[in-house]
Chain A
Amino acid sequence: MIQYKRFTLANGLRVLVHEDHSSPMATVNLCYYVGARDESPERTGFAHLFEHLMFSGTKAAPNFDAPLQMAGGENNAFTNNDITNYYNVVPAENLEVALWLESDRMHNIRFSEKKLDVQRKVVVEEFKETCLNEPYGDVWHHLAELAYKVHPYRWPTIGMVPEHVSEASLEDVQAFYDKYYQPNNAVLIVAGKVDTDKVEVLVEKWFGHLPSGPLIERVLPPEPPQQALQQRILKAQEPADALYLGFHIPSRVDRDYYGVDMLSDILGNGPSSRLYRRLLKDKELFSAIDCYVSGSIDPGLLIIEAKPVEGINNQQARAAIWEELELLKREGVNTRELEKVKNKVESTLIFSELSVLNKAINLAFFEILGNAELINQEAQLYRKITGKELQNLAQRIFVEDNCSEVTYEAALEEAVAEV
């Protein structure tokens, strides 16, 4: 049970305070409700580039990291399709330093051509490091493009192409900041060794005077149901064959999300999961296999990724996976298997509560979804799922028309064929 106090400032900033005195640290987590799905199709990767620019400095703190490091703190940030999340972990006595820095950069950043130029280059290097250097690192580009035709989830957070990032202008940057980086578009979590009453006073002191921004109307085109199997075969310079299947699933806020998450556990989480045990261990068809869900705010994907061993081609690999999916649809899950995933969910939730930062990030995300209390209801929601529900979900999701498939065929020459 995670206890917290929630309040809202006059400018619309939502604040949650969670005390955990077992830690010597205080965490300040600021989550902005903006992500890659809010980008224009000509400027993909912008939300993430902007995250880098949030470290540009202000008049009061020309180098964001310097005072935080002086305070013995650590900070970082991440961007995904839906949110941009900034976090600071500092020795508890320096809580106010983190609050000062976050309030300062919500309103006072001074962007410059020089800073923008450097971070454009840094992000292009990041693009190369994560998408081009890593074997299969571009899979998300292909899978997203196959699975989404109109919804902005069709491009990855890092951006469709590096050029989108290198062409971003200072005007784009300022406009994005003015629109999204406003107290009424953010959630602030203060957690760890903190005193709730004192936090209320400090948050009012540092954030209370900031003006609120424009109301954001988010109208995103919903993705129409997929009508047929989408396939892409990549003959690339990868070390071995690989197969990725993506299935459309309900949104993170849909009750069915919990069942789908459990299906992904049954298939791929842990050494006794079906795909791992039967296909990798017993039949020795794969050197690696995994299954997970994207958990995005708009309807996301369940992904199965598999690397066949030498001697097994992608057709055989695909057939073996589909055989397992059909079995799941036909026979459902047994009582023991259902109990197993529920036990796993329980222990995972308890373990995750060991980390204050983890709790803070989750609280922020649930509050963005509109209901922080979900954090304490999830265990129960998972508990309630029945075997019948899982089978129904499997029958709905694991159909070929709902599937997007990317295969890598190890080859020397580079070519892309669309089927």
Chain B
Amino acid sequence: MPAPPPIFPVSHIELPDFEQHLLANGLPCYHINRGTQDLVRIEFICWGGRPYEKHPLVARTTAALLKEGTRRHTGSAIAEQFDYYGAHLSVPFQMDTGNLAMHCLNKQLPEILPFFIEILCEPALRQTDLQAYLKRKQQSLKEDLSKAEVVAYRNITEHFFGADHPYGYNSSPEAYADLQQEWLVEHHYRCFHAGNGFAIVSGRFDEATSSYIHGELARIPNRAAVPINTLTIAEQTPGKIVIPHVQGGQAAIRIGRRLFSRTHPDANGCYVLANLLGGYFGSRLMENIREDKGYTYNISAGYDSFRWGGTFQIDTEVSPEYVQETLQEIRHEIARLRDELIEEEELQMLRNYLMGSFLTMVDGPFNWAETVRTLLTEQLGKTDLAALIRTVQDISPEEIQRLAQRYLQDEDLWTVVVGP
């Protein structure tokens, strides 16, 4: 066997530009033009997610119903048109924004894009479609609630923010039953327009295709930007919640706390801290609880951010007989973060792993478009991503320990256990 080869750390990541074009209707349109295939993806993104709702569940329901038909075409005709040309229409769910996306081969664009604009601007939002949607939704909610992990997730996020906060509230059969069709019409009129969002065009396209796309997107009307609701967090003292749940063979565990948005000075450091604890296969939690103890198939920790806030969460599913040991080991790993400085070799592995994951972000037009969407949705730019990369490269063991001591004290963390 030859000697192991040398390992070259990724030292630099070239972040591609995403040029902004301001269209005639005032809509900012970002271009990500690269890749190897003649296909294009267009996503319209507006400030019409949960923080902009007047009633719970309106944002998601409005977006979902866009596909159900326009004033001129039935949902069936739209579905037929997209399928016939091998195109795809989707409603990516995001917390802060209302989104509508499509992708197709460039050559099919003239058959598809006019429909996309029509769906965006003139949805029918019919009462009958709302009723049919609610019927399906109530059933899928019933199925979701039979899963311990879903119950755990719903419970812990509600405690982070409060049951009335846009990031904290949960869907319920009652809230669905309350939905009024005119609320959807109002939400759509107020939020889905050129004065309240932006578009991202990604793929490989030429000048002519680009100006065609601009012409179509410029048909979206422009109205006044939507102000953010006042967000009030219901502060509660963190504790442990145990919820009995009979279905399934395992218990779901969630441990975490509310954090902050990416604009906070400690956000980048917390990203590194969460990854060290549970962000990859070699993380502390995976190495200990899966690879050494065999208590679980999967355990992870992550820092998730929104435009107006964020969370830190650990989640796993284990057999009932391992719940106590797993909780104990998680607490032990969190204590190690606070009490011990990370060794240079482990920190180097974490840095290199994360640098490799950043490289994946710029691999192909659609991966990069997704990263750009996240940045723009959180009101960030390329320099902020560059700053995150710098933090990954430069963060010291002392800084990681400081962050763990500041944000991961046992008394600041909620624990939710759902299971038999």
Contacts and interface: CB of A to CB of B under 8 A. Distances in A.
A25 B353 contact: no
B352 A347 contact: no
A108 B143 contact: no
A112 B85 CA distance: 55
Contacts of A22: 34-36, 364
Contacts of A5: none
A270 B86 CA distance: 10
Given A20-B36, A100-B4, A238-B146, A129 B356 contact: no
B335 interface: no
A245 interface: no
Contact of A126 (B9, B67, B108, B297): B297
B250 A69 contact: no
Interface in B63-106: 67, 75-76, 79-80, 82-87, 89, 103-105
Contacts of A89: 360
Nearest to A133: B248
Contacts of B242: none
B37 A350 contact: yes
A102 B75 CA distance: 50
Interface in A91-132: 91, 93-94, 96-97, 99-100, 103-104, 108, 117-126, 128-129, 132
A287 B135 contact: yes
A17 B349 CA distance: 29
B7 interface: yes
Contacts of B227: none
Interface in A245-265: none
Nearest to A284: B132
Given A25-B359, A69-B281, A94 B135 contact: no
B276 to A, nearest CB: 12
A340 interface: yes
A71 B7 contact: yes
Interface string A377-397: 000000000000000000000
A351 B37 contact: yes
B246 interface: yes
Contacts of B136: 280, 287-288, 309
Which range holds the interface residue count of chain B?
Answer: 35 or more
Contact of B349 (A60, A69, A118, A133): A69
Interface stretch (A218-226, A271-279, A291-299): A271-279
A71 B36 contact: no
A240 B250 contact: no
A72 B356 contact: yes
B196 to A, nearest CB: 27
B344 interface: no
A121 B103 CA distance: 43
Contacts of A122: 290, 294, 296-297
A170 B37 CA distance: 48
A72 B10 contact: yes
A53 to B, nearest CB: 12
B140 A270 contact: no
B16 to A, nearest CB: 11
Contact of A125 (B5, B75, B295, B348): B295
Contacts of B84: 272, 336, 339-340, 343
Contact of A273 (B83, B298, B363): B83
Contacts of A10: none
A91 B296 contact: no
Given A272-B83, A347-B87, A354 B360 contact: no
A24 interface: yes
B294 A121 contact: yes
Contacts of B148: 133
Contact of A93 (B8, B295, B297): B8
Interface string B362-388: 111110000000000000000000000
A132 B320 CA distance: 13
A237 B248 CA distance: 9
Contacts of B39: 347, 350-351, 354
Interface string B7-39: 111100000000000000000000000111111
Given A125-B295, A129-B298, A347-B87, A72 B359 contact: yes
Given A60-B4, A206-B2, A239-B142, A69 B282 contact: yes
B4 A70 contact: no
A355 B79 contact: no
A23 interface: yes
Contacts of B45: none
Given A271-B79, A344-B86, A354-B35, A72 B352 contact: yes
Given A271-B83, A340-B84, A350-B105, A70 B7 contact: yes
A344 B248 contact: no
Nearest to A276: B79
A96 B75 CA distance: 52
B359 A125 contact: no
Nearest to A69: B353
A72 B356 CA distance: 4
A340 B319 CA distance: 47
A41 interface: no
A211 interface: no
Counting chain B CB atoms within 10 Å of each CB, the highest count among A74, A273, A346, A354 belongs to A354
B139 A307 contact: yes
Contact of B250 (A117, A132, A209): A132
Given A121-B295, A128-B319, A272-B76, A354 B366 contact: yes
B5 A97 contact: yes
Counting chain B CB atoms within 10 Å of each CB, the highest count among A123, A277, A347 belongs to A347
A128 B250 contact: yes
B323 interface: no
B357 interface: yes
Contacts of B143: 135, 239-240, 307
Nearest to A99: B5
Nearest to A64: B281
A240 B139 contact: yes
B292 interface: yes
A227 interface: no
Interface string B32-72: 00111111000000000000000000000000000100000
B337 interface: no
Interface string A309-336: 1100000000000000000000000001
B10 A91 contact: yes
Nearest to A282: B76
A92 to B, nearest CB: 9
Instruction: List the 4 closest pairs (A to B, CB-CB), nearest first.
Output: A72-B356, A121-B294, A347-B86, A132-B249
12 contacts: A22-B34, A60-B1, A65-B281, A72-B359, A73-B356, A90-B356, A123-B297, A125-B250, A135-B143, A237-B246, A288-B140, A354-B364
Given A74-B353, A347-B86, 9 more contacts: A25-B363, A60-B1, A69-B349, A71-B356, A72-B357, A281-B75, A287-B140, A347-B105, A350-B39
Interface of A: 20, 22-25, 60-61, 63, 65-67, 69-75, 89-91, 93-94, 96-97, 99-100, 103-104, 108, 117-126, 128-129, 132-135, 205-206, 209, 237-240, 270-273, 277, 280-282, 284, 287-288, 307, 309-310, 336, 339-340, 343-348, 350-351, 353-355
Interface of B: 1-2, 4-5, 7-10, 34-39, 67, 75-76, 79-80, 82-87, 89, 103-105, 108, 132, 135-136, 139-140, 142-143, 145-149, 246-250, 280-282, 290-298, 317-319, 348-350, 352-353, 355-357, 359-360, 362-366
